[in-house]
Amino acid sequence: MRLRDALARSGLAAIAEIKRKSPSAGDLRPDADPAELARAFERAGAAAVSVLVDDRFAGSVADLAAARSASEVPLLAKGFFSAEDQLAEVRRAGADAVLLLLRDLEDDAVLTLMRRANELGLDALVEAHDADELARAVRLGADPIGLNARDLDTFRIDRHTQLELVETAPRDRVVVAESGIESRAQAAAAELAGADAVLVGSTLMRARDPAAALADLVSRPLVKVCGLTRQEDVDVAAEVGADLAGFILAAESPRRAAGILDVPATMLSVAVYVGERGEEPSDLVQLYAREDGHRGRDAVLLRGDEPVATVLDLPWQADDPAHFSRAAAAEGRVMLAGGLDAANVGAAIASVRPWAVDASSRLERAPGIKDPERVRAYVEAARR
């Protein structure tokens, strides 16, 4: 299978990267076995595997060949390619795609290498770091396009700029968010901005079990703890592995928060409104209609002004025996809400297969006051 085809499938794909060291971080996994890792990443759900073939990363073409011997997913040869014979070499070693860095190549060289890659049956992942390079990639017909959050001069990670680039990339191209992905929430942020895939290297290489770390990174559903009003409750939710922190900002709610509290980089903040959205800064907005002085049944999840998921909830202060079947029949990304806790979230996930789950009142000691053990049990049950 071609790399582009593997990444264009429904849902967020992952390219798992094999590298022993990095110029910015030093040694990551000096004893990495490319064959063993490629096999494990494929089993863990990687859509493709990236292999560093440059000695600055303690990599080689032999590593690529070893990965090919153990895995059937598309392999991306990652290096600093500038000559056609380099492409032929990695193709012979088993590559299905090569990385081309716009930072290091003029347009004519990119076109020549893209043409030669195509002749060899290779896809070219053309990598951009800023708006000018993204415009170049689009103009040159690159597909897929990689958008790297790391500045290769300073090694600084800028996720905000990366997400802006992902958002502006043409939707008819396959887009890969590269570098700086350390949590499911960060991967989801790239997904909601429009990325088809994420490329993850250092995070996996540092993990005790790289394949398990990959499986966790791409697993769904995301887990949201809502109705947060205290910083200590946000901290507990983060500690136990929740992905989304919800803050209800509707005036009539007994769980109304004073504002968006401090949310770590491993989570996304969600501002919850009824009727009209406010202006509190947050990663996402969950907006319910107002009906008869209270929230309507369902909500829309927004990234900026763009709807990115549907929140399917129970009726206001009522139950619905058909709630799960209704949600299971819905199309697109679904965040399942309404009466969830540790006791029922596993069955809900098995029935609905939602993109995210959302719990609030059943995790409380009192309105807006979370019980840490209930939060822990719910998150653990949802991520089981």
179 is catalytic: yes
306 is catalytic: no
Which amino acid is residue 182, in one-letter code? E
What does DSSP assign to residue 256? B
167 is catalytic: no
The residue from 148, 183, 253, 269 that is catalytic is 148
Tell me if 111 sits within 8 A of 135, measured CB to CB. Answer: no
Of the candidates 317, 344, 381, 361, the one whose C-alpha atom is nearest the C-alpha of residue 228 is 361
118 is catalytic: no
Tell me if 381 sits within 8 A of 223, measured CB to CB. Answer: no
Instruction: Tell me how far apart the alpha carbons of residues 140 and 155 are, in angstroms, rounded to a whole number.
Output: 26
DSSP string across 2-71: -HHHHHTSSS-EEEEEE-SEETTTEES-TT--HHHHHHHHHHHT-SEEEEE-SGGGT--HHHHHHHHHH-
Tell me if 176 sits within 8 A of 15, measured CB to CB. Answer: yes
Three-state DSSP state, 264: coil
The residue from 21, 71, 133, 178 that is catalytic is 178
78 is catalytic: yes
Residue recorded with tokens 């958008």 = 147
148 is catalytic: yes
Tokens of 30: 């000096």
Instruction: Tell me how far apart the alpha carbons of residues 60 and 42 are, in angstroms, rounded to a whole number.
Output: 20
The residue from 42, 50, 78, 224 that is catalytic is 78
DSSP string across 132-199: HHHHHHHHTT-SSEEEE-B-TTT--B-HHHHHHHHHHS-TTS-EEEES---SHHHHHHHHHHT-SEEE
The residue from 179, 183, 202, 253 that is catalytic is 179
Tokens of 11: 């849902």
The residue from 50, 60, 71, 127 that is catalytic is 127
Of the candidates 76, 69, 72, 15, the one whose C-alpha atom is nearest the C-alpha of residue 46 is 15
Of the candidates 86, 71, 81, 89, the one whose C-alpha atom is nearest the C-alpha of residue 34 is 71
360 is catalytic: no
Angle between helices 84-92 and 107-119 (to 10 degrees): 30
Tell me if 279 sits within 8 A of 292, measured CB to CB. Answer: no
Q: Which residues are catalytic?
A: 17, 19, 78, 127, 148, 178-179
